[in-house]
Structure 1
Amino acid sequence: MSPNRFALRRSPALPAAAVLSLAALLVTAAPAAQATGTATGAAVVAAAPDIPLANVKAHLTQLQSIATANGGNRAHGRPGYKASIDYVKAKLDAAGYTTSLQQFTSGGATGYNLIADWPGGDANKVLMAGAHLDSVSSGAGINDNGSGSAAVLETALAVSRAQLAPDKHLRFAWWGAEELGLVGSRYYVNNLPSTERSKLSGYLNFDMIGSPNAGYFVYDDDPVIEKTFKDYYAGLSIPTEIETEGDGRSDHAPFKNVGIPVGGLFSGADYTKTAAQAQKWGGTAGQSFDRCYHSSCDNTSNINDTALDRNSDAIAHAIWTLSAGTGEPPTGEGVFSNAADVAVPDNGAAVTSSIAVTGRTGNAPAALQVGVDIKHTWRGDVVVDLVAPDGTAYRLKNSSSGDSADNVITTYTVDASSETANGTWKLRVQDVASQDTGYIDSWKLTF
């Protein structure tokens, strides 16, 4: 996972411009444009196979051997990275994939993305999954991100073993130079013609899925992808949390920025596991999810087998489920969003962002989902309301002087059953204290 996207901490001297990171540009208005699969069709989708943990770990052993033989790492521009690409490509070529290497330059060194297409499926509806293959220079990068790379590889090989014939076209990718700022994935997206971008029905990202003190985090992005992963873990009676630690710090960001629906899984990096998280997931409270993050000890001993196994199976489940069907939303569901940035002034007046809801019948649901992404360096300063078309305000979040964390990235549930669904809904945000600033990045309503 790229290190250059950490949230900024409170500092009176911090310039407001430093708060702003790359804005996420989501597809707006049309519900179908946000959806990537159909949850209602899952009952008729062939069950995904179990992904053998032994196979995934065998890939990790090979990546470790490659690093050991090449100066201890698999970093961009180093021989260990090219050897890693060659290893993955050979496996895919033998399994019947059409593979291609995409070259780019970063820091004066040649980098590589590996793209693998499975034959068949609707070429106008492409489901893509990927992981970054490079490590930092200080270690072999077995959890970050050998874990995601190996699981995506083994899922692709499972597609070949099953001779899967999905409705959508399947494409897998392994990215270079993620650790230098998402360089490889940005290069791919920026050089993808708009006609090809429009064919991508979704991109699934897997960056660090075997953390030794693991958590089970699901990206809060496209609602159908998110629901696919949440439903899978609910079936295992494993609670999940929305992933906020790495938001924008991995290879889904370039796709999200051009309006492609994204989602993924994450098992945690250098943030500390809370007591509540340890109670529901096991592991050690007060310790980071991965104590070897970006360190030389990120080797084959730095893997939680249970988390790696579960997440690998979840990847296969998502590929099998989301590649089937028409790509329309679940019956009766609509998603409306606004990704235009709105600056929130420091200790200033409230600002609003609007969404026009159309095509619905009757009233809004009793469990209206309000997904918000507000970037802010001290979220305790922030008050958030949902304003219905008739002007009724529903308080989503109060200010709290003790809440010193960054950003408000979560989904609220509102009983809006007394409100007419169609009309202009507003997200109202106010900063009620001084020294910090931020902006509304995006928000969405899911009916």
Structure 2
Amino acid sequence: MSSPTPRTRHRLARRARIGRSVIATVAAGAVAGLIATAPGAAATPTTLEAPDIPIANVKAHLTEFQSIANANGGNRAHGRPGYKASIDYIKGKLDAAGFTTTVQQFTYNGATGYNLIADWPGGDANQVVFAGAHLDSVSSGPGINDNGSGSAGILETALAVSRANLKPAKHLRFGWWGAEELGLVGSKHYVNNLPSAERSKISGYLNFDMIGSPNPGYFVYDDDPEIEKVFKDWFAGKNVPTEIETEGDGRSDHASFKNVGIRVGGLFTGASRTMSSAQAQKWGGTAGQAFDPCYHRSCDTSSNISDTAMDRNSDAIAHAIWTLGSAGTTPEPDSVFENTADVSIPDNGAAVTSPVEVTGRTGNAPATLKVAVDIKHTWRGDLVVDLLAPDGTAYRLKNSSGSDSADNVITSYTTDASSEVANGTWKLRVQDVAAQDTGHLDSWKLSF
């Protein structure tokens, strides 16, 4: 007979020295850990924290706007094919993310214009938090800072709402306006055709026009104290000084809403005005140069963007949407999808799976998808555990480890599944990759 392997000797010694007091301690710790991570536990009322908006995602939208302009005569102006292609691009993204979208048509200068409105399901329909940006460029250039920047910032914020499956207290709405460059035509059309009862439901309109200027200032609209404070507090927390916006006052789409009594706010990084020495010292820019030297010119391309300003302002937009839409609310309980059927796990054998059918969700799975597992096994280090998305993509939850000699896997994992459609058949896959120990999958659940 051969001598016991080191792993076997370790197991025998371990099991021999486990006394009742140790068992009790381990059991108590396991229960405490399970309670601490249990999906669906009641949440303390709090202001929900906004996610960081990936600058790479925002820049990808700007790159798409540039490509659209390149393919359509160099611009995305009202009445030109580049503008309609921009509308179609954004609408496709929002439709896939679970928004309800509406394209509103109007006519100006003999050409058809378009506004795009996107509503996120849920929230109090009598309290609407509305973020908007104009999507058109001037005819002389692609308009990437003016105003691909604001359009991309609110688009990626809207997609972040979907990824988080946000359940705000207030209803969230996003808008992209046409023919702003010709006199706020699209936003005026929207507001003028909105019944007064619907206007009264808009608790605040946030405007974002030029938020990535290459020599940026950080300007905040001062029209409404509450909205202004949300933005100023965010920038103060990042040690970024701000100034009151004056250059574009009344020259962008917030004026259409303000003129009918709707509270407004927003952000701006400057256009044709020149940065002062004091501002350059404050913000690290170039004194004596325009905030955007390519304002309304053909050089307003994807290279005419400050990544730092674009990143900061996109995060500030998300902060405002989360704060104004959800401040002081308690998140709704998680939606839980569970399979409690036992599945035997063969010793050193093939992988086994257990399915869960997810229905009734909109858009993609969250970036913080919770996976709670209860696996009974005499040596958990043998186990490899994966979550399989409906399209078959595997998300590794647990690797095997020869040194992990404890029993059972009773815990919760969090994984970023935001690239996956939520509805469909998800599976937990478990495999025992070493000999001598056995077990079974007792239950598992997904919490959205």
TM tier relative to shorter chain: 0.5 to 0.7
Gaps of 5+ in 2: 1-44, 330-448
Counterpart mapping for 1:377-396 below 5 A? none
Other-structure match for 1:294: 296
Other-structure match for 1:135: 137
SS in 2 for 1:131: strand
Other-structure match for 1:123: 125
Contact 2:47/2:328 (CA < 8 Å) preserved in 1? no
Q: Does 1:178 align with 2:180?
A: yes
SS in 2 for 1:90: helix
SS in 1 for 2:77: coil
Contact 2:53/2:315 (CA < 8 Å) preserved in 1? yes
Other-structure match for 2:71: 69
Deviations 1:67-115 (A, max 9, x none): 0000000000000000000000000000000000000000000000000
Counterpart mapping for 1:9-408 below 5 A? 44-325=46-327
SS in 1 for 2:106: strand
Q: 1:296 to 1:195 in 2, by over 3 A?
A: same
Distance 2:196 2:240 in 1: 39
**TM-fit CA distance, 1:325:** 4.4
Contact 2:46/2:328 (CA < 8 Å) preserved in 1? no
**TM-fit CA distance, 1:135:** 0.1
Q: 1:284 to 1:187 in 2, by over 3 A?
A: same
SS in 2 for 1:44: coil
Distance 2:83 2:284 in 1: 34
Distance 1:242 1:167 in 2: 29
**TM-fit CA distance, 1:46:** 1.3
Greater relative contact order (CA < 8 Å, ≥ 6 in sequence): 1
**TM-fit CA distance, 1:251:** 0.3
Gaps of 5+ in 1: 1-42, 328-447
**Could you tell me which amino acid in structure 1 is paired with residue 107 of structure 2?**
T
**TM-fit CA distance, 1:317:** 0.2
Contact 2:46/2:327 (CA < 8 Å) preserved in 1? no
Deviations 1:13-62 (A, max 9, x none): xxxxxxxxxxxxxxxxxxxxxxxxxxxxxx92111000000000000000
Distance 2:293 2:268 in 1: 15
**Could you tell me which amino acid in structure 1 is paired with residue 262 of structure 2?**
I
Report the TM-score, using the length of structure 2 for normalisation.
0.63
Distance 1:66 1:254 in 2: 28
Distance 2:162 2:273 in 1: 37
Distance 1:283 1:291 in 2: 13
SS in 2 for 1:111: strand
**TM-fit CA distance, 1:206:** 0.1
Distance 1:44 1:281 in 2: 33
Distance 1:115 1:152 in 2: 12
Contact 2:131/2:207 (CA < 8 Å) preserved in 1? yes
Contact 2:133/2:208 (CA < 8 Å) preserved in 1? yes
Distance 2:309 2:327 in 1: 29
Contact 2:48/2:327 (CA < 8 Å) preserved in 1? no
SS in 2 for 1:244: coil
Other-structure match for 1:22: none
**Could you tell me which amino acid in structure 2 is paired with residue 291 of structure 1?**
P
**Coordinate RMSD, CA, aligned:** 1.1
Of the two, which has the highest radius of gyration?
2
Distance 1:150 1:237 in 2: 24
Distance 2:144 2:199 in 1: 31
Distance 1:98 1:64 in 2: 26
Distance 1:93 1:75 in 2: 24
SS in 1 for 2:117: strand
Distance 1:131 1:193 in 2: 21
**TM-fit CA distance, 1:326:** 7.9
SS in 1 for 2:62: helix
SS in 1 for 2:249: coil
Distance 2:315 2:156 in 1: 10
**Could you tell me which amino acid in structure 2 is paired with residue 75 of structure 1?**
A
Contact 2:48/2:326 (CA < 8 Å) preserved in 1? no
Distance 1:282 1:182 in 2: 32
* Number of equivalent positions: 285
Distance 1:124 1:197 in 2: 10
Identity of aligned residues (%): 80
Other-structure match for 1:23: none
Distance 1:303 1:325 in 2: 32
